[in-house]
Amino acid sequence: MKKLLLLTLTFSLPHLFAEIWEDYKPSETQIQLTVIDVQSNYLDNYLVNLKRTWVRSVEIQKELGHIMDYGVYVSDGASSPNVWLTISYENMAAMEQTKEKYDAVNKVLEERYGDDEEELDKISKGYEEIRTMIDNQRINQVIFEM
């Protein structure tokens, strides 16, 4: 019995110590995750306004190649948090913000939508009345070697 236990431990022990780059590796893709708590009964209003502000901006960033993708996730059953926003970047270098990127996005926003700055500012300030930012993280996927 002892020999069987020793044999089992001998062959299973090396697998207990995972090695980065051998057993798994982090993906180069970086995801910015923002976790938000929107007050009860304001979720629909929040999402409609988010489409007009944040979604338009990240959609243009995607078109310009500044980001790979974005996502808006909600949970009807969650009490807090209940909204998750993601932005996927090709790598950490792509996360760097520059004046050129900022100006390019604002130029397209102005040409495409021509929104009144005061109105957008009012919408953005209104977010603070109905939401609480819970967390903001940079995460990346783990890729397992098989």
CATH number of domain containing 54:
3.30.70.100
| pLDDT one-digit tens code per residue, 90-107 | 999 999 999 999 999 999
Query: 92: which 2 tokens?
Result: 């950490």
**Is 26's pLDDT higher than 70?**
yes
Residue 13 resides in a domain: no
Amino acid at 92: M
Residue 14 resides in a domain: no
Provide the pLDDT confidence category of residue 11 given band limits of 50, 70 and 90. low
Residue 82 resides in a domain: yes
Provide the pLDDT confidence category of residue 2 given band limits of 50, 70 and 90. low
- Residue 37's domain comprises 29-144
**pLDDT for residue 40:** 85
- Looking at the 3D structure of the chain, how many domains does it have? 1
**Is 77's pLDDT higher than 80?**
no
Residue 12 resides in a domain: no
Query: 129: which 2 tokens?
Result: 């009345």
Q: Check if the beta carbon of residue 49 is closer than 8 Å to that of residue 128.
A: no
SS3 label, residue 80: coil
CA 109 – CA 74 distance, rounded (Å): 26
CA 70 – CA 72 distance, rounded (Å): 7
Q: Check if the beta carbon of residue 27 is closer than 8 Å to that of residue 144.
A: no
Residue 9 resides in a domain: no
**Is 87's pLDDT higher than 90?**
yes
CA 96 – CA 67 distance, rounded (Å): 11
Residue 136 resides in a domain: yes
Residue 10 resides in a domain: no
Residue 1 resides in a domain: no
